[in-house]
Structure 1
Amino acid sequence: MPRIQRILSFFFLIAVVLAALQCARRGSPTGGPKDNTPPVLLKAEPENLTTEFKAKKIRLYFDEYIKLEDIQNQLIVSPPLKYNPEVTPQGGARKYVEITLKDTLLENTTYTLNFGQGIVDNNEGNPNSFLTYVFSTGTYIDSLTVSGVVKDAFNNKADEFISVMLYEIDTAYNDSTVYNKPPNYITNTLDSTIIFQLKYLKAGKYAIFALKDESKNNVFDQNTDKIGFIDDTVSLPTDTVFLLNLFKEIPNYSLKTPNYAAANKIIFGYSGGNEKLDIEALTEIPDSISTLVVKDPEKDTLNYWFTPFEIDSIIFKVTNENLKKIDTFTVKTRKLVADSVMLTPSHRNTINFADEFYITSNIPIVAMDTTRIAIFNKDTIAVNFKAKLDTTKNRMSLDFEKEADEKYYLNLLPYFITDFFGATNDTINYRLSTGGYADFGSLRLNLAGEITYPIIVQLTDEKEKLYREIYVSEATALDFNTLKPGNYLIRIIFDSNSNGIWDTGNYLKKIQPERVIYYPSVIEMRANWEKIETFTILD
């Protein structure tokens, strides 16, 4: 007997003996192995790939009891229907799925119903993945295909449930069609992949889009949806694999109705990016009253501050100088509590050698007295520092050299700051400590390949929160020192307009977002590690 046959026979004998021993054991039955088999489609009425389709109901029969899961998100009908079909059973188990069509179907059109992961067996929840039912109201089934990949233009991980849409470029199509009309064909990446494939298409010329369709209405809403597009026309048939970068546009300018946020603060919310707005009170305000307009550093809001006075309402004129647009609002007084100054430090207890220490205020700071600040180390020796007031971010930074295994005591005496209302602080004490150099790791990053400078190299945590950043205008080694132990991602932004930030795209202006790439793996850093990584960047 050949050697391989003897080995197989030996293992077969062991398996038989083990099975016999298992049968001889006493105890409660385990229920047998877990069922990992998805439900199998036995037949469809009308049959799949039916032509000259005229039915109003479709039934799909399976070999076991099934149920529906998240079918409202999982079922994708292409071309989209005005009214979603009714799908049963809802909340029960049967051996069939029934689809009731509520729309009048287009003539000579191939339709696909992709059920995604929405049909699962009743016991274990195994899905019949991406089951597709296809029919045509004409005499043949269209058979062309478009495939590609959807990625997020900025984030490393793409969103789930991305719609990919094809619009036929005919006499009715224009750049605004995606805003107000559903596509000719649609599919969805669902929650399992970034790869898409549109099937059963007819020959022609198309525009292709990706959409994070928050409203699930199959059209683009600039205020809520992300969009991705390619500049070129898609001509079918094609064997091109398309890449769609998904991004959120800066919305068009709009101004929200202003309202009181506190007794002496009115907020003017707006959208539209870095629009230059001028706020003017048309109501006569006494000369003794001080006013100040400050941009909120965290959101698109202008804060209108004013010192206390009695008034029923104030009429404002808001001018958008770029668009030459003027809005007028009447804001009625509300009885609210006045804000009191709160100072928030950037660090508590510990600080990294490379970190900046700053204190943020909730009320605009108009003055800072650096003679009311003292910093000492653990030996009570005074530490030199530089103080700076940033009125844009409404924070005060204290820059001082930090040594290893040291403690620092920051004493802020009364009258250190004066806010817009003339209020000052009480005594504030902060205690900070640094670790030893051996508590941290160091990373040197070498860049290789074809690189167009300038670039922004960012170090983030695994949730893509920014940790460190270096602006690079020419080839050089990049050092990220004193890194806390943990896992990091590297993100590179190609700053094509040299403005120091990532710029998103705009569909109507045919502007793609600035290119962003990530190092292909997570970088682990441990205490006292020195690591060198090379990032080869390809075109």
Structure 2
Amino acid sequence: MGRKILGFIFLFIILLVSYQCAQRGTPTGGPKDITPPKLLKAEPANLSTNFSEKKIRLYFDELVKLKDIQKQLIISPPLKYAPILSPLGGANKFVEITLKDTLEPNTTYTLNFGRGIVDNNEENAIPFFTYIFSTGDYIDSLELSGVVTDAFNKKVDQFISVMLYKIDTSYTDSTIYKRPPNYITNTLDSAVIFKLKNLKEGKYALFGIKDAANNNVFDQKTDKIGFVEDTINLPTDSIYLLNLFKEIPDYGVAVPSMVASNKISFGYYGDGSAISIEPINALPDTVKSIVVKERDKDTLNFWFTPFEMDSILFSITNEQLKLKDTFNVKNRKVAFDSLKISMNQRGNIEFDQPINLQINTPLISFDTTKIKLMDKDSVPIVHTITLDTLENQLNFDFTIATGQNYQLDLFPGAITDFFEQTNDTISYNLRTKSPADYGNLTLNLNANTIQYPIIVQLTNEKGEVQREIYAKESQSFEFINLNPGKYLARVIYDLNGNGKWDTGNYLKKIQPERVSYYPTTIELRANWEKIETFNLIE
């Protein structure tokens, strides 16, 4: 009995001690750590001269790690071989950089880590931390600053590389395509201001690049570019603007591919308006063929009636540039691409937006007697239909009323394609909302002088055009029957009068056409009449 009592007492003591230990270990919380790591020392010291080391160590007051360092670290001038960095995938109280390059003599180097060094727990970054050294007797100290904008979009891309090339006997306009710059920095997050530091006196060319491949050179097919036309003379106190745009690529043809048993696709770059495609080897007399541009793509499709073959040899000629390419396309076991019809607007239709039937195979003819358009009371609607051979579609034109329902019927044989395929019965139901479901917006442009013609556009927040008005002279810009939502407004200065925005070209020294954005988002609600004044800065 005494042993049982002692056992109970012992168990009670164990439980009590465990409870107290558990209580002591309960976290009590506290303020979140928002302090970034601090550099304690560097070996060799920051701002060292006559630098000749291969390794650099940066010691911090807490455990640090490297985050997105391949994107964050910018070395100026760029090195041919990327340095070895540690720790990778772990944490340490120091960051080690092992240089693999032979450094240039009498040159100031800057290692800008961006936000790539963070503490181990909360990932607080040391913003724009830099380590600088010189292989010569002094540190270069000149600076250059400026602003990055996007020529067409309101929002500027992140991580724009700002590049400075020294103009010497080896520099040409094509240098930017071939080798990295002498100095480089980049913008981070949503920043639009840049500053290049520790520069040497001299003459330079200044560029901004959205460097898709992160290779520190300009690739016309993938990169945006902005350039300053004038030579930069350092030292300078000027503030420079880099307005980025995507060039129309130089003409080129991709390797064609047989994508269906009756279709071979030829992709191209640049202007394809003067391309002709011809089979070199003779096709059987029973084979018909036609070339049609694919809608919304830089692709030409060679359509043909299928036949037994191993391959077809093609000649692709750009008549304007007098260029010719030859491709051999081998036969593949792929399905026949048959007739499919779709409508560009379904359900609720938008005012001032075209209504068309889009066909995937080459459209040859249509029969208006087999196409009916009626309103909700089954009253026929007066309309016209036109065949658009460039877009391979049927365009419908009729007066669209608010609060109305429409039914479009295609009866068998209404549409005939290149392969003599016809449609079955198809019905589309379309409708518009009542006037009270829409809003109206009037934009008044305010400027001392405006150079016409201009294009005034409303876009959604993604930059997709919702409405536009082309003007050759001063007028009020009224956008009626708009869906409720948030809009951006912009003015395109159509200098060449071709009815669209034109991009720039670096080698031709052409800047893109100017675009002005309304400073804030315009919110429009149902049954609203809104008037906004757009102040344009000339």
Q: CA, structure 1 residues 233+153, in 2 after alignment: closer, same or farther (shift >3 Å)?
A: same
Q: Give yes or no for contact 2:157–2:190 (8 Å, CA) kept in 1.
A: no
1:466 corresponds in structure 2 to: 465
Q: Is the 8 A contact 2:262 2:303 kept in 1?
A: yes
- Alignment partner, residue 204 of structure 1: 202
Instruction: Quote the offset at 1:152 in angstroms.
Output: 1.5
Structure 2 residue 112 is the aligned partner of structure 1 residue 131: no
- 2:389 is matched with 391
What letter corresponds to residue 432 of structure 1 in structure 2?
L
Query: Which residue of structure 2 lines up, in the alignment, with residue 529 of structure 1?
Result: 528
1:27, CA displacement in angstroms?
12
Q: Is the 8 A contact 2:144 2:237 kept in 1?
A: yes
Q: TM-score scaled by structure 2?
A: 0.93
Match of 2:18 in 1: none
Measure how far apart 1:28 and its partner are: 5.5
Q: Which residue of 2 aligns with 1:17?
A: none
Shift of 1:420: 0.7
Cross-structure match for 2:31 = 33
Unaligned ranges ≥5, structure 1: 1-25
SS in 1 for 2:177: helix
Partner of 2:483: 484
Deviation for aligned residue 1:521 = 0.7
Give the drift of 1:455: 1.3
Query: SS state of the match for residue 178, structure 1?
Result: helix
Tell me the SS of whatever aligns to 1:414. Answer: coil
Deviation per residue, 1:37-61 (Å, 9 max, x gap): 1111122111111111112111111
| 1:226/1:352 CA distance change after superposition, 3 Å | closer
Given that 2:251 and 2:272 are in contact with CA atoms closer than 8 Å, whether structure 1 keeps it comes out as no
Q: Is the 8 A contact 1:369 1:415 kept in 2?
A: yes
Query: Which moves more between the two structures, 303-312 or 191-200?
Result: 303-312
1:327 to partner: Cα distance: 1.7
Q: Which residue of 1 aligns with 2:117?
A: 119
Alignment of 1:14-413 (within 5 A): 29-413=27-411
Deviations 1:216-273 (A, max 9, x none): 1111121222111111000011111111011121222211222211111111111122
Which residue number corresponds to residue 440 of structure 2?
Answer: 442
| TM-fit CA distance, 1:309 | 2.8
Aligned residue for 1:111, secondary structure, equals: strand
1:500 equivalent to 2:499? Answer yes
Q: Deviations over 1:288-316 (max 9, x none)?
A: 43211111221111111112333332222
Task: Tell me how far 1:428 sits from its aligned partner.
Answer: 0.6
Superposition deviation, residue 29 in structure 1: 4.0
Across the two proteins, how many residue pairs are aligned to each other? Answer: 515
How far did 1:202 drift?
1.0
- Residue 110 (structure 1) shift: 0.7
CA RMSD of aligned residues (A): 1.6
Aligned to 2:516: 517
Letter in 2 for 1:127: A
Give me the whole-angstrom Cα distance separating, in 2, the residues matched to 1:417 and 1:95: 73
| SS of residue paired to 2:110 | strand
Q: Does the Cα contact within 8 Å between 2:313 and 2:327 map onto a contact in 1?
A: yes
Unpaired stretches in structure 2, ≥5 consecutive residues: 1-23
Separation of aligned partners in 1, 2:255 and 2:95: 49
Structure 2 counterpart of 1:308, one-letter code: P
Q: 2:494 is matched by which residue type in structure 1?
A: D
Kept in 1, the 8 Å contact 2:352–2:467? The answer is no
Alpha-carbon distance in structure 2 between the residues aligned to 1:419 and 1:238: 65
Q: Distance in 1 between matches of 2:329 and 2:342?
A: 31
Paired letter, 2:521: V
Q: In structure 1, what is the Cα distance between the partners aligned to 2:328 and 2:46?
A: 63
Q: Deviations over 1:393-427 (max 9, x none)?
A: 11112222222222111111111110111111011
Match for 1:300: what amino acid?
A: D
Aligned-partner residue type, residue 439 of structure 2? G
**Partner of 1:456 in structure 2?**
455
Q: Distance in 2 between matches of 1:217 and 1:316?
A: 35
CA contact (8 A) 1:354 1:482 kept: no
The 1:414/1:204 distance shift into structure 2, 3 A limit, reads same
* Structure 2 CA distance for aligned equivalents of residues 375 and 255 of structure 1: 42
Bigger drift between 353-362 and 443-452 goes to: 353-362
Looking at structure 2, the residues matched to 332 and 111 of structure 1 have their Cα atoms a distance apart, in angstroms, of 53
Give the superposition deviation at 1:448.
1.7
Percent identity over the alignment is 60
